[in-house]
């Protein structure tokens, strides 16, 4: 992360004694799933399922429930204690005053300027309360898409985060356990979020990551946004609302250990103050809230590894020359097992390779529109569906992925074309 602060990996005092067990004290949570994508029609009235349905949802929290009720203890545990490691100012409590459902399909984590329990923090009597939840001992993820849709708080000193820790933290400690920060925001940067990796030799202020800034001066507190990582062996890609802003691989670590090919558990929290965000000031409103709409983990049949897509002549769908530049042609080529032929069908209907999306050039819908690699941007040009008849259909155009000229030669470009059932429009995923 771009800060001088140490990681948020563990709490002080009450929780430090639990480090050997890798568990922090517990409570529960759940998250809502957005409406399913409409099932598109293709030529002849055949219905096809969105490509996202090729993936399996392994964790899907729907925060439906009466207002004021606790989160699902079967999914989450609530941690209690302070956090001297980051010089945070809050005490994390187990009460519904700090983590509860709102009756409208959300989890609300509330930071308050209060201390009803006379809680003691590293600096003396605590000034604030808040909540931190994790899935340790209840759910772990290894590869796939990990996402949360949230609206972050506003104000100096606020520090919301959605992140993961290696499930072996009790055995190997931090940072050898690894930490994946899906999203962090600090109040003095209302338009920017950060995604970061921490591991041995690259932790705390030395974490490897990048930030994403909303255009036009928008603030993340103004609306809900979806924060996600697409996680595969030796590759993690971060996105906001479907727009990719960074991809990290072992090549980014300068020879240091990549510790992310193992199970991780999920964490949600709202910290108050600390080395990185600084303390609240007179402009900071309390109570202040992190509102979580859903938390979801989706993984394909071959979790996170990607899979080849084969077409006419047994040739593979291939990113030309394994080039990651926007506009790189998508073609047929002899199958060779490289990353340029490993495609992941996303939970959002995208089809991805090399950290970018399969894209209809210029958003075209006409016959002959070429298909290319492009930064994921959430547009209809990047929404695909796979039918039981082995068509891959661009939903916006309602046209099929097609090998030009009915050819299986190496280098044959792929395009959109009216679905006709020919061999050059039939594809096998996996």
pLDDT at 283 over 80: yes
The domain tally of the chain equals: 2
Domain end position, chosen among 268, 299, 330: 299
* Contact criterion met (CB below 8 Å) for 265 and 185: no
State the chain's maximal CA–CA distance in angstroms: 75
Alpha-carbon dihedral angle through residues 270, 273, 213, 154, given to the nearest 10 degrees: 70
Catalytic residues: 179, 184
The answer to whether residue 6 is domain-embedded is no
**H helix or E strand, kind and range, residue 169:** helix 169-172
Angstrom distance (rounded) from CA 175 to CA 262: 14
Whether the bond into 175 is cis, omega within 30 of 0: yes
Angstrom distance (rounded) from CA 402 to CA 391: 9
User: Quick one: what percent of the chain has pLDDT higher than 70?
Assistant: 86
User: Domain check: are 173 and 62 in the same one?
Assistant: yes
Tokens 């430090």 found at: 16
* Contact criterion met (CB below 8 Å) for 13 and 122: yes
Angstrom distance (rounded) from CA 367 to CA 88: 57
Is residue 294 very low, low, confident or very high in pLDDT (cuts 50, 70, 90)? Answer: very high
CATH number of the CATH domain containing 369: 2.80.10.50
Whether the bond into 287 is cis, omega within 30 of 0: yes
The answer to whether residue 366 is domain-embedded is yes
Reported as a single tens digit per residue, the pLDDT across 7-63 is 454 453 333 323 322 323 322 222 222 222 222 222 222 323 333 334 578 899 988
Reported as a single tens digit per residue, the pLDDT across 178-209 is 999 999 999 999 999 999 999 999 999 999 99
pLDDT at 117 over 60: yes
Which domain, by its residues, includes 71? 13-36+56-299
The answer to whether residue 45 is domain-embedded is no
pLDDT score recorded for residue 5? 37
User: Domain check: are 206 and 343 in the same one?
Assistant: no
pLDDT score recorded for residue 347? 62
Give the lowest-confidence range in 46-55, 109-118, 122-131, 351-360.
Answer: 46-55
SS3 state of residue 85: helix
Give the lowest-confidence range in 208-212, 299-303, 382-386.
Answer: 299-303
**Average pLDDT of the segment spanning 76-98:** 95
What average pLDDT is seen over the chain?
Answer: 86
Domain end position, chosen among 270, 299, 328: 299
* DSSP β-ladder status, 288-299 and 107-111: antiparallel
Reported as a single tens digit per residue, the pLDDT across 299-356 is 743 334 478 999 999 999 999 999 989 999 999 999 998 889 999 887 678 899 988 8
Structure tokens at 50: 């969105």
Question: How far from 205 is each of 32, 82, 199, 386, CA to CA, in Å?
Answer: 34, 21, 11, 43
pLDDT score recorded for residue 141? 92
CA-nearest of 341, 342, 329, 290 to 110 is: 290
User: Domain check: are 109 and 169 in the same one?
Assistant: yes
């Amino acid at each position: 992360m771009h800060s001088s602060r140490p990681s948020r990996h563990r709490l002080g005092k009450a929780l430090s004694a639990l480090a050997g067990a890798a568990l922090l004290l517990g409570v529960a949570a759940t998250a809502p799933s957005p409406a399913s994508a409409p099932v598109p029609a293709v030529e002849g009235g055949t219905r096809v399922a969105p490509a996202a349905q090729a993936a399996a949802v392994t964790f899907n929290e729907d925060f439906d429930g009466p207002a004021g009720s606790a989160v699902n203890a079967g999914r989450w545990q609530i941690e209690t204690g302070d956090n001297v490691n980051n010089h945070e100012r809050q005490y994390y409590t187990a009460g519904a005053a700090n983590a509860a459902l709102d009756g409208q399909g959300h989890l609300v984590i509330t930071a308050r300027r209060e201390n009803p329990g006379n809680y003691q923090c590293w600096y003396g009597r605590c000034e604030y309360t808040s909540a931190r939840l994790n899935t340790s001992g209840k759910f772990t993820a290894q590869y796939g898409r990990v996402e949360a849709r949230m609206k972050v708080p506003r104000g100096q000193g606020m520090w919301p985060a959605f992140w993961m820790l290696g499930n072996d933290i009790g055995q190997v400690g931090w940072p050898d356990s690894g930490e994946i920060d899906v999203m962090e925001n600090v109040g003095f940067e209302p338009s920017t979020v950060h995604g970061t990796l921490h591991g041995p030799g690259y932790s705390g202020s030395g974490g490897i990551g990048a930030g994403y800034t909303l255009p036009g001066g928008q603030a993340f507190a103004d609306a809900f946004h979806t924060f996600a990582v697409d996680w595969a062996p030796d590759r993690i890609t971060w996105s906001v609302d479907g727009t990719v802003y960074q991809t990290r691989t072992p090549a980014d670590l300068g020879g240091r250990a990549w510790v992310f090919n193992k199970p991780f558990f999920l964490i949600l929290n709202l910290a108050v103050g600390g080395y990185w965000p600084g303390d609240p000031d007179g402009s900071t409103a309390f109570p202040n809230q992190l509102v979580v709409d859903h938390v979801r983990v989706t993984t394909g049949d071959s979790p996170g590894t990607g899979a080849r897509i084969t077409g006419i002549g047994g040739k593979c769908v291939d990113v030309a020359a394994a080039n990651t530049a926007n506009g790189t042609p998508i073609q047929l080529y002899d199958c060779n097992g490289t990353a340029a032929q490993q495609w992941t069908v996303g939970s959002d209907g995208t089809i991805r390779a090399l950290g970018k999306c399969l894209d209809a050039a210029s958003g075209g819908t006409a016959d002959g529109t070429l298909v290319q690699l492009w930064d994921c941007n959430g547009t209809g040009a990047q929404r695909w569906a796979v039918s039981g008849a082995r068509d891959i259909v661009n939903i916006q155009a309602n046209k099929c992925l097609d090998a030009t000229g009915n050819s299986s030669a190496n280098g044959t470009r792929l395009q959109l074309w009216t679905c006709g059932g020919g061999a050059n429009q039939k594809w096998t995923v996996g």
